[in-house]
A = this chain, B = another copy of it.
Amino acid sequence: MSRARIAGTGMTPFGEHPDRPGRDLFGEAGLAALDDAGLSPDDVDEVFYGNFVGTLSENQGHQGPLMSEAFGTTAPARRIEGACASSGLAIRDAVRVVRNGEADVVLAGGMERMTNMGTAGATAGLAVAADDLYEVRPGVTFPAAYALMARAYFERYGGDETDLAHVAVKNHENALANDHAHLQTEITVDDVAEAPAVADPLGLYDACPISDGASAVVVTTDTYAEDHGLDAPVAITGSGQGSDRMALQDRESYAKTPATRAAAQEAYADADVVPDDVDVAEVHDCFTIAEVLALEALDLYEEGEAIGAARRGETTRDGRLPVNLSGGLKAKGHPVGATGTAQVAAVATLLSGSHPRADALDSPTVGVAQNAGGTVASATVHVLEVVQ
């Protein structure tokens, strides 16, 4: 079995691109990734593409072939949809086919355009990631669902809004160096406390923005990378996926995310690493509490311990385990279908040294990327390692 090597990464700036069709955004990211890899569109054997609500936001289903076309090929292409985990699943596909010798060069990526939908449209669009019959119709929006998770966490383990504010402050600070981030604004704990409430205990700064954008990663084999002299210093050595009951009320606890735990266990075993090996992590912080839940499900913290991690300075960029150095969904932005590949691209460039925040790390060797859909009814975890 070959290793899956990352040969190139590309992304559009994340932010507001209401007038750019999805194909245009993905074309830019795909070509940037190929350019970074030193490859051309004709080198691509297969395309795995994540998108969540293009059917709603631009009346466009069947985006697979359109996205292949957008960067200039008719390579076999498919769309994968797992809500906010859509392109985490695309990466998983890419890793599998490359490892198994079914393709030499694969482009995995994702795109979302939502700011063209308006606030009400985007809220309704995001809601299709929840259980329509048993969550959406009774009135549970995503901020409300994550607020319930935060409240359940506080009740079970302790912690408070100020702990979460430190997560927001940290991720905003990290994004200051990232030219592709949606929000490049420094905030303070007081700003977070004084911001309008969204769903108690979560306020405006506990939530990621609605973003547009695209990301792409070129994945290849050891042999292809070596034969073609590609600069591909990072491999994806572990992949895992987990699912859970869709509706929060059907789960054992609101304060745990077993889908991430299952994905992490599979990915660690696949890579033959343990959580202690991890030097850097990008996790799915759609809301600040989600970062806390992810760090515990990834077994990077014991249950009940991650809530204070940012406040204690452990996950800040000068901490022992920097988390979301890219700015995370919170500040880098969250173009839903593009998030999973953007996370993998961030970890890859942090490990290779080309990310603007790479200087926070001292010879890192292992990174992890966790992507989640809905209230973590879907999760993917990927382990990345510097090729020795």
Chain A residues packing against B (C-beta within 8 Å): 21, 46-47, 52-53, 55-56, 58-66, 68-69, 74-83, 89, 93, 96-97, 99-100, 102, 127-133, 136, 241-246, 250, 259, 262-263, 373-374, 377-378
**Residues of chain B with a CB closer than 8 A to A129's CB:** 61-62
**Residues of chain B with a CB closer than 8 A to A243's CB:** 47, 64-65, 68, 74-77
**Residues of chain B with a CB closer than 8 A to A46's CB:** 241
Complex Cα gap A378–B165 (Å): 47
- Chain B's closest residue to A263 (CB) is B76
In the complex, the answer to whether B378 meets A64 with C-beta atoms within 8 Å is: yes
In the complex, the answer to whether A78 meets B82 with C-beta atoms within 8 Å is: yes
Assuming the A-B contacts A65-B378, A79-B81, A89-B78, are A58 and B244 also in contact, with contact meaning beta carbons closer than 8 angstroms in the complex? Answer: no
**Residues of chain B with a CB closer than 8 A to A136's CB:** 59
Contact of A65 among B58, B60, B377 (CB under 8 A): B377
- Chain B's closest residue to A81 (CB) is B79
Contact of A55 among B58, B128, B242 (CB under 8 A): B128
**Residues of chain B with a CB closer than 8 A to A80's CB:** 78-81
Copies in the complex: 2
Nearest first, the 6 closest Cβ-Cβ pairs linking A and B are A61-B128, A62-B83, A65-B377, A65-B243, A76-B241, A62-B129
**5 chain-A/chain-B pairs, Cβ below 8 angstroms:** A61-B129, A62-B246, A62-B373, A64-B243, A65-B246
Complex Cα gap A56–B124 (Å): 12
Complex Cα gap A47–B69 (Å): 29
With both chains docked as a complex, state the minimum distance between the C-beta of A380 and any C-beta of chain B, in angstroms.
9
**Residues of chain B with a CB closer than 8 A to A373's CB:** 62, 65
**Residues of chain B with a CB closer than 8 A to A131's CB:** 60, 66
**Residues of chain B with a CB closer than 8 A to A93's CB:** 93
Complex Cα gap A355–B173 (Å): 63
Complex Cα gap A64–B83 (Å): 9
